[in-house]
Amino acid sequence: MSVEKRIFKIPVGPQHPALKEFEHFVFTVDGERVIDVGFRIGYTHRGIEKLAESKTYIQNLYLCERICGICSAAHQGCYAQTVEELADITAPPRGTYIRTLIWELERIHSHLLWLGVAAHEIGFDTLFMLVWRDREVVMDLLEMISGNRVNYAMSTIGGVRRDISDELKHKILKGLDILEERTKYYKEVCMKEQTILARAANVGILTREQALKLNAVGPTARASGVDVDLRRDDPYGAYDEVPFNVIVYDTCDVLARVLVRVDETFECINMCRWLLENLPEGDIRTKFARKIAENEVVGRVEAPRGELFYYIKSNGTDKPERLKVRTPTLANILPVCEMLKGGYIADIPIVLAGIDPCFACMDRALFIDENSEKKWVWSREQLRIYSIKWYKEHGNEVVRERWKQ
Amino acid sequence: METIELLILLLKFIVFPGAIFCIAYGFFLEWFDRKLYAKFQNRIGPLLTGPKGLLQPFADFVKLLAKEDITPVGADKLGFTLTPLLTVAVSLFTLLFIPIHSLTGVLSLPGDVLLVLFISTVFGLLIMFAGYFSGNRFSMVGTERTGLQFVGYEIPFALSVISVAAAARSLEITNIVNYQVNILGLPLIVFTPIAFAIYLISALAKLEKIPFDIPEAETEIVGGWQVEYSGKKLAFFRLATDLKMVFVSGLAAALFLGGPYGPSIPGLEPIFYTIWFIIKTLIVMFILSNLRSLFARYRIDQVVHGFWKYMVPLAVLQILIVEGLIFMGVI
């Protein structure tokens, strides 16, 4: 067999067991080594930004929440916070504290979920099952507070929708104790289990320079030694009052990404305790006028996956003129391609999972024509019509082409 | 008279302890493994089909038989159809050499240890063919991985068996069992614990279980060599995996744990021996299930590296120990 013949392309996605969502990557491999990575995003475009322009500010709360299932509170909170700034109102302290508590509980749930997924990707199903069992504790806490397990619908413009009673506070503190104990155990497992170390240490390297250059965010950046955390750098919510540490590791590999998240979980647990113990008295929300004068505001929060960016422009009506979202996964997609190059096929799933990707939140269908640098945006319907037309013309060729390969 | 003997032999081949018993026991082992694996992961496992889900593997098999069977355009038709059948046939054939109801297998001939070792390597080859014939890219990677892993585990596996054969000074499974029962009076695991450990680890690789499920790694290459197989063919592959489990645990019982021998009532040996066989294989299976719930999947280079760097020297050391023991007259 000649040398050229051994080099072939492996498609990963749009449907692939390693990806929980639809996204397309093409890996050029030489035997087991990955030489080059190409990717195509946009499979889960839902036209949310366009839809937001036809809904009122209150309705959009629930739309934004549905951008992502895992970090729904971060999206909703960020939206609410941005609109508050737009309308020039401030949420009362108790409301802000409860909102921050939800953010941190969500971070615990997101990081534990990620740990389970990562364990599954390296074929450690026992850890996956156990972590997800214990994640139920925090899910139950969130359900007790908000009434929902996934989309909590807690934040509203001007505060939060539900209060936390003293009885509930006691229950949450109890749940946090269980979580802390279990997370300690998992940290020990991650640091001592030889098979995990063999698969995670020195895999998917992203140096500090690359991370800065390619604009990595969140735990991915913090695992590469980049000391960024919006909660400290640009405090919002109650973060300027809560004491916490920013976790930074500088080994730049998957193991660092695991440890950053596990250590952050401890920080979250401590923050939740502090927030509950220092919960101020008072109202949980203020009133809000339906119409907002012309204005534009950029809002940012540190979602579990990294920096989440919202831009909202108002035009004097009760609907936004423009809503723009940039999710952390989009920022991390270039760094992840860099991490994959030079690695093994076997490392693809864990490295991909390493950034905790959420493609559904990322896809906003921005088309860039590489030759003329022209940019345009399509709605879902246009995209659908285009795809039907395109496949009518090219469908047969594509199918034939695929068989040939 | 001759026809009756022939009939009995045929019954041995087909019913007990041949095909039907082995297949039924294979399904039972799969259930045992799944149930145990689920317990370790704080799950319940098969529950509804039959008492405690006992019939689930059988139900899976029947369901797969009824499913649509697709042969891809890019596949080699003959090879694609033949490999699953061959795999089942080969696994059933090796099982005839395993002593189940008496101290001898249904088939027994001088040097059958070598024959069984040889045929068990054919398992690996057949898996490679299976991936190669289906002409899928993921299968290709799976095939390459099977080949590489094969290079890793086959030598330590053979060496661990050889050390037992050396201790019993025979290459016949019957003689090795007889040696443990009648001459030594002890199972050989007492003198060859290292070989037993190496045997189990290589067996995990042979069965493609975690941490060595690299050729079919679901999250990496979508099932590897078995991507394109569906319906009856997939059912046969799964059956073959169950049979391999019986083979691996049965061979371990025969070589290391004194075969199916155990306390019994004179005259009822076949029944008691079968029960002892089941107990011993379940012990082996218990260890295997434990191992597979404890680890994450290794990478292929780590596997080959680990087997050659640690397992092979250890296996050689075991053989030296056995030789030393023979020299000193202990065994």
pLDDT average, residue stretch A301-322: 88
Domain limits of chain A?
Answer: 48-361
Q: What residues in A contact B295, CB-CB < 8 Å?
A: 124, 193, 195
State how far residue B141 is from chain A, nearest Cα, in angstroms.
8
Q: Does B295 touch chain A (CB under 8 A)?
A: yes
Banded pLDDT at A397 (limits 50, 70, 90)? low
Angle at A253 between CA B209 and CA A364, to 5 degrees: 95
The pLDDT, as a whole number, for residue B305 is 86
The pLDDT, as a whole number, for residue A190 is 84
pLDDT digits (tens, 9 = 90+) for A108-150: 999 998 888 888 877 788 888 889 988 889 999 999 898 888 8
Q: What residues in A contact B140, CB-CB < 8 Å?
A: 8
Banded pLDDT at A37 (limits 50, 70, 90)? confident
> For A139-202, what is the HEC assignment?
HHHHHHHHCCCCCCCCEECCEECCCCCHHHHHHHHHHHHHHHHHHHHHHHHHHHCHHHHHHHCC
The pLDDT, as a whole number, for residue B62 is 93
Q: What is the ipTM of this complex?
A: 0.72
Q: What residues in B contact A9, CB-CB < 8 Å?
A: 137
Q: Does B141 touch chain A (CB under 8 A)?
A: yes
Whether the predicted pLDDT of A99 surpasses 50: yes
State how far residue B40 is from chain A, nearest Cα, in angstroms.
7
Banded pLDDT at B265 (limits 50, 70, 90)? confident
B214:A345 CB<8 A: no
Burial (0-12, 13-18, 19+ Cβ within 10 Å), A166: exposed
Q: Structure tokens of A220?
A: 């991915």
State how far residue B74 is from chain A, nearest Cα, in angstroms.
7
8 Å CB contact between A329 and A216: no
Q: What residues in A contact B297, CB-CB < 8 Å?
A: 122-124, 195, 199, 346
Q: Does B222 touch chain A (CB under 8 A)?
A: yes
Q: Is A313 helix (H, G, I), strand (E, B) or coil?
A: strand
A345:B141 CB<8 A: yes
Tally C-beta pairs within 8 A across A and B.
86
Nearest by CB: B41 against A29, A129, A344: A129
3-state helix, strand, coil in chain A (%, to 5): 50, 15, 35
How far apart CA A277 and CA A273 sit, in angstroms, is: 6
3-state helix, strand, coil in chain B (%, to 5): 75, 0, 25
A349:B141 CB<8 A: no
Banded pLDDT at A391 (limits 50, 70, 90)? low
Q: Does B300 touch chain A (CB under 8 A)?
A: yes
Which of the two residues, A31 and B116, has the higher pLDDT score? B116
The pLDDT, as a whole number, for residue B169 is 87
How far apart CA A294 and CA A315 sit, in angstroms, is: 4
The overall pTM is greater than 0.90: no
Q: Does B40 touch chain A (CB under 8 A)?
A: yes
Q: Is A27 helix (H, G, I), strand (E, B) or coil?
A: strand
Domain limits of chain B?
Answer: 29-38+51-328
How far CA B136 is from CA of A11, A33, A198, A268, B204, in Å, comes to 12, 18, 29, 46, 26
Q: Name the residue of chain B whose CA is nearest to A353's CA.
A: B219
Could you tell me the CATH superfamily of domain A48-361?
A: Cytochrome-c3 Hydrogenase, chain B (1.10.645.10)
Q: Give whichever of A196-200, B196-200, B224-228 has the largest mean pLDDT.
A: B196-200
